[in-house]
């Protein structure tokens, strides 16, 4: 978790490096 979630976030255009938890929610991972 972390890097993969960030990469996923890039794909959906929802990049929140400061909030890894938010990235999880956004990507649904």
Convert 5-26 to b/e letters by CB count within 10 Å (16 or more is b).
Answer: beebbeeeeebeeeeeeebbeb
Q: Which token pair is 3?
A: 């890097």
State the total domains in the chain. 1
| CA–CA gap between residue 7 and residue 9 (Å, rounded) | 5
- pLDDT of the residue at 16: 54
Looking at residue 25, its pLDDT comes to 57
Give the pLDDT score at 15.
53
pLDDT in tens, 1-29: 556 655 665 665 555 555 556 555 555 54
What would you report as the CA-atom Rg of the chain, rounded to the nearest whole angstrom?
7
- Residues of the domain holding 10: 1-29
Would you say the pTM of this structure is higher than 0.75?
A: no
């Amino acid at each position: 978790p972390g890097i993969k979630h960030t990469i996923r976030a890039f794909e959906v255009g929802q990049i929140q490096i400061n909030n890894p938890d938010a990235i999880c929610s956004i990507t649904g991972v």
